[in-house]
Amino acid sequence: MEKKISLKKILLWVLKIVLSGLALYLVYKKIDNQVFISIIHDIDWPWLFPALLLFNISKIFSSVRLNGLLENIGIQISHQDNLRLYYKGMFYNLFLPGGIGGDVYKTYVLNKGNVVPLKKIIGTMFYDRISGLIILVFLAGVVAFDVLDAYKIYAIVLILFTIPAGYLFTRIIFPSHQKNYITSQFYSFGVQLMQLLSVICILKALQVKFIAYFSYLFLFLVSSVAAVVPVTIGGAGARELVFLYGKKILHVSPETGIAVGLIFFLITSFSSLVGIFIRYKRS
């Protein structure tokens, strides 16, 4: 049985690599490669250090959010242990075979020695992702209001109804997490704010003019929603496709957008490598 499960995970991992590869191939066939190479060649490298730092601060916010959700179902774990577990999960998510290997690993560790039902732990892991998605859609609406003149009414709908709809969803489907809904959304906002600031640093590194920032930030938020669906490796390919086809609406440079997506993926990968050096042992 274990061999069958392992084979299935490997096949899913291979499929994700193939899908990422196909998406990236499609993207790079449709852009001006000379322009793309020139953009990479002219990177202002020092700006990538704060981009890396801000991304990792976003992961601290994510870790604290998850810890609060775990407390809702009766699991007590220190913030330090939870952060170690989070980075270990990041590494498994990105580098090991399986669709959501990091979440499976965290669920397995948290289930050991706990009387909390496994179903509740799995549900909390799923809700942690949903919690992040709610504020992601809200912020996409906020930025869309500024950059999409023809779609302002839809942006207003997202701004006004996303968070209340998220609360209603939480109350009905995940009542255990209803009591600190606002707190979890506060940490989700921290996650996305740090990542948007990280992207701004990447845009500075790519020497993009300030007037275009909001267009790229909007496409980044949309690409983050696309990357939530675990069909590619760490969102590689999915983000680049959003930037490629987003040029038709926002008239931005697809080569620059794809460079943003690629650099963000590399920052994510580099940060996830920390998980190799972490030996998790719950206090």
Residuewise pLDDT in 10s, the chain (283 residues): 334 445 666 666 566 666 666 666 666 776 677 888 898 889 999 999 999 999 999 999 999 999 999 999 999 888 888 898 888 888 887 765 444 567 777 888 888 877 888 899 999 999 999 999 999 999 999 999 989 888 899 999 999 999 999 999 999 999 999 999 999 999 999 999 999 999 999 999 999 999 999 999 999 998 888 776 655 555 555 666 777 777 777 878 888 888 898 899 889 888 988 877 776 665 5
Compute the distance between CA of residue 230 and CA of residue 224 in angstroms, rounded to an integer. Answer: 11
| 142 assigned to some structural domain | yes
Largest CA distance in the chain: 58
Q: Residue 107: its pLDDT value, please?
A: 85
Compute the distance between CA of residue 43 and CA of residue 202 in angstroms, rounded to an integer. Answer: 9
Q: Residue 106: its pLDDT value, please?
A: 84
Four-point Cα dihedral 59, 63, 64, 65, nearest 10: 100
| 180 assigned to some structural domain | yes
| Residue 58 DSSP code | H
| 82 assigned to some structural domain | yes
Q: Residue 98: its pLDDT value, please?
A: 46
Q: Which one, of 236, 235, 255, lies nearest residue 244 by Cα?
A: 255
216 and 256 in contact (C-beta within 8 Å)? yes
243 and 219 in contact (C-beta within 8 Å)? yes
| 13 assigned to some structural domain | yes
Q: Residue 99: its pLDDT value, please?
A: 46
Q: Residue 77: its pLDDT value, please?
A: 87
Q: Residue 141: its pLDDT value, please?
A: 94
Q: Residue 20: its pLDDT value, please?
A: 65
Compute the distance between CA of residue 246 and CA of residue 222 in angstroms, rounded to an integer. Answer: 9
| 123 assigned to some structural domain | yes
Q: Residue 1: its pLDDT value, please?
A: 37
Both structure tokens of 82 = 């939870």
Both structure tokens of 206 = 């790519």
Q: How many domains does the chain have?
A: 1
92 and 78 in contact (C-beta within 8 Å)? no
Both structure tokens of 273 = 């490598």
Q: Residue 139: its pLDDT value, please?
A: 95
Both structure tokens of 162 = 């996303």
| Sequence-separated (6 or more) residues with CB below 8 Å from residue 165 | none
For residue 133, the enclosing domain spans 2-277
| 33 assigned to some structural domain | yes
| 282 assigned to some structural domain | no
Q: How far is CA 30 from CA 3, 19, 187, 249, 269, in A?
A: 41, 17, 38, 16, 25
Q: Residue 151: its pLDDT value, please?
A: 85
Both structure tokens of 202 = 């990447």
Compute the distance between CA of residue 145 and CA of residue 159 in angstroms, rounded to an integer. Answer: 9
Both structure tokens of 187 = 């940490």
